[in-house]
């Protein structure tokens, strides 16, 4: 069967696609092609996993933040990411899946999460680079997803994008402070940009021609833009910001195209991308081990919550 064919009832499929063409959102109770539901579960669960695993690289700098103000900002950001994961697990559950199953897939190492979180945070400047670049890339992507055809996902993005803006600002402020500080601080900021720039471009996924899921997602308006379009938008925004704080984008091929108004960038190392996606990045094993440990350590909390719910759940009404 051709990649995009579906075995669904043609009449219902036509009604579904007409609804999307009218920019109506699809809600959990609405009929939807099985392929649409499966694509959403795949994409949304990976997004939720990414938010939760994304807490780890930053979490290990909370105790080492250089000031109380920086510590409070980082604490608030990491806490936000946990909330983002919960919102998106909740919206994924509206598609008829159980979040415990999704979490078990993550813990078993069979679920994907964004490759960016498999890189180490070596200095305090990395916390600035993550806020500025990683959350900056997330904002470019998620402001698009706030218009996704699936209602619960789009609505989750609205609040998440507001919080991502705070994340990006606090990261860019850290980078601005360091870049404008001593020679050593400027060097620390430049080193972080050098290490986080290319993995941030990889957050938008493979090139359009190598993206097996984009056809479905664009057809059914989960994505409104392609991976490469979003990546280009991110590059155009971020190059100007780097120049504003006297940092250099680590790409000798970078050049401005007066006609398209785009910053053209060099070739991404797709071997590195797929190596990290397939579990062989610098921190993949460490991240999963930390996630498994946190899950085990939290078992008593889940047991207590379940016991409380069982005790206080309204008694089932007797027919
Ligand atoms: N890391 C890991 N896997 C990736 C990836 C990445 N950066 N980019 C793509 N992949 C995977 C895809 O999941 C897919 O594998 P699968 O078919 O087994 O699921 C394969 O590579 C091919 O990629 P496609 O382009 O076909 O996949 P998509 O159409 O799903 O596009 C995506 C990938 C752009 C990441 C899209 O899924 C998306 O926009 N997801 C929602 C946003 C999201 O997940 N962002 C991740 C970061 S979360 C974050 O930034 C938190 C913030 O607070 C910092």
Check residue 107 and give its pLDDT. 97
Are 60 and 121 in contact by the 8 Å Cβ rule? The answer is: yes
Mutate to test the pocket of ligand 1, among 114, 211, 281 (most ligand atoms within 8 A of CB): 114
Instruction: List, for residues 60-81, the tens digit of each pLDDT value.
Output: 899 999 999 999 999 999 999 9
Handedness of CA 274, 89, 13, 228 (dihedral sign): negative
Atom of ligand 1 nearest to the CA of 230: 34
- Tell me 130's DSSP state: I
Q: What is the pLDDT of residues 195-243, one digit of tens each?
A: 999 999 999 999 999 999 999 999 999 999 999 999 999 999 999 999 9
Q: Helices then strands (H, E): number in the chain? A: 14, 2
Token pair recorded at residue 224 = 């409104």
44 CA distance to ligand 1 centroid (A)? 9
Q: How many angstroms is it from 43 CA to the middle of ligand 1?
A: 7
Cα–Cα distance measured from residue 114 to residue 128, given in angstroms and rounded to the nearest whole number:
19
Among candidate residues 84, 201, 80, the one with its CA nearest the CA of residue 137: 201
Token code pair at residue 203: 């957050």
Atom of ligand 1 nearest to the CA of 81: 53
Q: How far apart are the first and last CA of the chain?
A: 49
pLDDT of residue 313: 79
114: CA distance to ligand 1 center in Å?
Answer: 6
What is the pLDDT at residue 6?
53
Q: Give residue 314's pLDDT.
A: 73
Any idea what DSSP says for residue 134? I
Dihedral sign (CA 55, 44, 21, 233)? positive
Q: Which residues of the chain have pLDDT under 70?
A: 1-7, 315-319
- Rounded (10°) CA dihedral 17, 21, 27, 31: -10
What is residue 82's predicted lDDT score, i.e. its pLDDT? 97
Residue 3 confidence (pLDDT): 42
Percent of the chain with pLDDT over 70: 96
List, chain by chain if needed, residues with CB within 6 Å of any ligand 1 atom. 42-43, 46-47, 50-51, 54, 81, 84, 112, 114-115, 134-135, 138, 141, 164, 202-206, 211-214, 217, 227, 277
Distance (Å) from CA 88 to ligand 1 centroid:
14
52 neighbors 79 (Cβ within 8 angstroms) = no
pTM of the model: 0.94
């Amino acid at each position: 069967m051709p990649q995009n064919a579906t075995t669904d009832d043609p009449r219902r499929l036509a009604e579904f696609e007409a609804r999307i063409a009218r920019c109506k959102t699809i809600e959990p109770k609405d009929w939807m092609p099985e392929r649409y539901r499966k694509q959403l579960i795949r994409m949304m669960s990976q997004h939720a996993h990414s938010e939760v695993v994304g807490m780890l690289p930053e979490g290990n700098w909370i105790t080492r933040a250089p000031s109380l103000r920086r510590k409070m900002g980082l604490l608030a950001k990491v806490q936000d990411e946990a909330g983002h994961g919960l919102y998106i697990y909740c919206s994924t559950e509206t598609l008829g899946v159980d979040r415990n199953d999704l979490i078990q897939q993550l813990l078993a190492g069979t679920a994907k999460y964004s490759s960016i979180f498999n890189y180490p945070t070596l200095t305090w400047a990395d916390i600035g680079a993550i806020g500025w670049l990683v959350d900056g890339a997330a904002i470019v992507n998620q402001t698009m997803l706030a218009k996704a055809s699936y209602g619960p996902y789009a609505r989750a993005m609205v609040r998440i994008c507001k919080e991502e803006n705070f994340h990006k600002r606090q990261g860019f402020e850290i980078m601005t402070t360091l870049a404008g500080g001593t020679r050593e601080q400027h060097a620390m900021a430049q080193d972080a940009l050098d290490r986080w720039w290319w993995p941030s471009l990889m957050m938008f996924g493979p090139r359009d021609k190598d993206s097996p899921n984009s056809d479905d997602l664009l057809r059914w308006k989960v994505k409104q833009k392609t991976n490469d379009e979003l990546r280009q938008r991110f590059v155009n925004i971020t190059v100007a910001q780097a120049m504003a704080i006297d940092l250099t984008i680590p790409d000798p091929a970078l050049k401005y195209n007066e006609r398209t108004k785009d910053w053209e960038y060099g070739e991404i190392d797709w071997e590195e991308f797929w190596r990290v996606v397939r579990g062989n990045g610098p921190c993949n094993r460490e991240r999963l081990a930390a996630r498994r440990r946190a899950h085990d350590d939290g078992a008593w909390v889940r047991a207590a919550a379940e016991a409380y719910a069982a005790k206080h759940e309204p008694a089932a009404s007797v027919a």
